[in-house]
Amino acid sequence: MGTTALALIELGAVIFGLALLARLAGRIGMSPIPFYLLGGLAFGSGGLMKLEGMAAFSHLASEIGVILLLLMLGLEYTARELVTGLRRSWQAGLLDVVLNAAPGAAAAWLLGWGPVGALVMAGVTYISSSSIAAKVLTDLGRIGNRETPAVLAVLVFEDLAMAVYLPILTVVLAGVSFVGGLQAVGASLLMISAVLLVALRYGRQVSTIVDSENAEVFLLSMIGAALLIAGISSAMNVSTAVGAFLLGIAISGATAHNASLMLTPLRDLFAAIFFVVFGLSTDPTSLPPVLGWAALLMVVTTLTKLATGWWAAKRAGVAKFGRARAGAALVARGEFSIVIAGLAVASGAVPGELAALATTYVLLMAVLGPVAARTVEPVMRALQPGPRTKTA
């Protein structure tokens, strides 16, 4: 059998397998991300079977998956929404950073992974899965709820925080000194401010560069622009992901909306490959030893996200059931935690156990998140039989 034939068969089998997993996830109303990770683990190093024929393609495809994930994250909110969100809810955003980055950093520190490992794990435990949160809010009919703007505001802040965090992470992973790190922070803040300013002032002009009535032209210009910018930023050591993300922010209005509609299926395909490749690179036998740590992080960071949402919703004048719903909607961690762990593992600057811990953690949180969002209200009502039973 030729190499092309082998690669096609492997790739086809993997993608078909992902379809079955996604179908299963949909059947039980869950995010497919943990299933993709498990799928990757099953065939990874030390797993059931070796898949080497498709390696060349899957490596590039998973890079494209990260680029599309971040491009879509940037497209999700307009520059104006980001700026007003930042102005209105920076307190909740900061609380979110402090409460949720600290447990990851502390765990990495205790495990002896040093400052780089701590920075990576801080990101992994900090960032909520906006895709799971959005799905939960839609599925449970909570878009019209009063606490929802508070949830979205936290997600918007996390979005911006990623724009600061990713460049720093890239520089640190590349092994630059403390001063170099500070320069990276300065440079990234400058870059984000510039992009936001350009998007606010000239958003329409930026959009017209890629926009087109013709769907084919539009698709090719979007993908072309995203890959070009990602490649250039990678060459400049700014991280491929950040370039795509900033491009997403710079594109606004109807163009951004159309672009996200058009790119969603492509993102789904390439992101699925990214999750599988990440799973493939992780040895499944390395998971059980870190299970205890992952479970501990799960308990702590579920409570910290609940507290974040609770506080944010309380500030918005929402009563306690709404506060609990807001907190639970934020509990899920998913795609971006894996993106962060993936960047770290690819750089080789962190120990292999980190990938195992991040994988286990995301597996737990991606499953727990939607369950928490669904059950938080009934649990609270059951725990608190006070005035309701009296009036009944």
Partner 1 sequence: MNVEETPLPGIGTRKDLVTESGRRVGVVAYRDGDTELIVSKPDDPDACVASIPLTREEASALGNLLGGHQIVMQLTEEHSEFPGVVTRQFSIMAGSPFDNRPMGDAHLRTRTKVSVVAVMRAGQVQPSPSPDFVLRAGDLLVAVGTLDGLDAAAEILRNG
Output the smallest distance, CB 77 to partner 1, in A.
Answer: 5
Q: Is the CB of 101 or the CB of 313 nearer to partner 1?
A: 313
Tokens encoding 10: 């492997």
d(CA 248, CA 250): 6
Q: Is the CB of 169 or the CB of 199 nearer to partner 1?
A: 199
Q: Which residues bind partner 1 (CB under 8 A)?
A: 76-77, 81-82, 84-85, 134, 141-149, 152-153, 155-156, 257, 261, 318-319, 321-322, 325
DSSP 21-84: HHHHHHHTT--SHHHHHHHHHHHSTTSS----TTHHHHHHHHHHHHHHHHHHHHHHS-HHHHHH
Output the smallest distance, CB 319 to partner 1, in A.
Answer: 6
Q: Is the CB of 33 or the CB of 150 nearer to partner 1?
A: 150
Output the smallest distance, CB 80 to partner 1, in A.
Answer: 9
Q: Is the CB of 40 or the CB of 322 nearer to partner 1?
A: 322
CA-nearest of 107, 87, 41, 90 to 360 is: 41
Residues in contact with 206: Cβ distance below 8 Å, sequence separation at least 6, in sequence order:
198, 199, 250, 251, 252
Output the smallest distance, CB 219 to partner 1, in A.
Answer: 18
Q: Is the CB of 237 or the CB of 264 nearer to partner 1?
A: 264
Q: Is the CB of 317 or the CB of 352 nearer to partner 1?
A: 317
- Give the other-Cβ count within 10 Å of 204's Cβ: 13
Helices (H), 140-177: 148-173
Q: Is the CB of 123 or the CB of 248 nearer to partner 1?
A: 248
Instruction: Let me know: does 310 contact 329? Beta carbons within 8 Å.
Output: no
b/e per residue 129-154 (b: at least 16 CB within 10 A) = bbbbbbbbbeebebeebebbbbbbbb
Output the smallest distance, CB 264 to partner 1, in A.
Answer: 12
d(CA 148, CA 142): 7
Tokens encoding 149: 């703007």
Output the smallest distance, CB 146 to partner 1, in A.
Answer: 4
Output the smallest distance, CB 230 to partner 1, in A.
Answer: 22
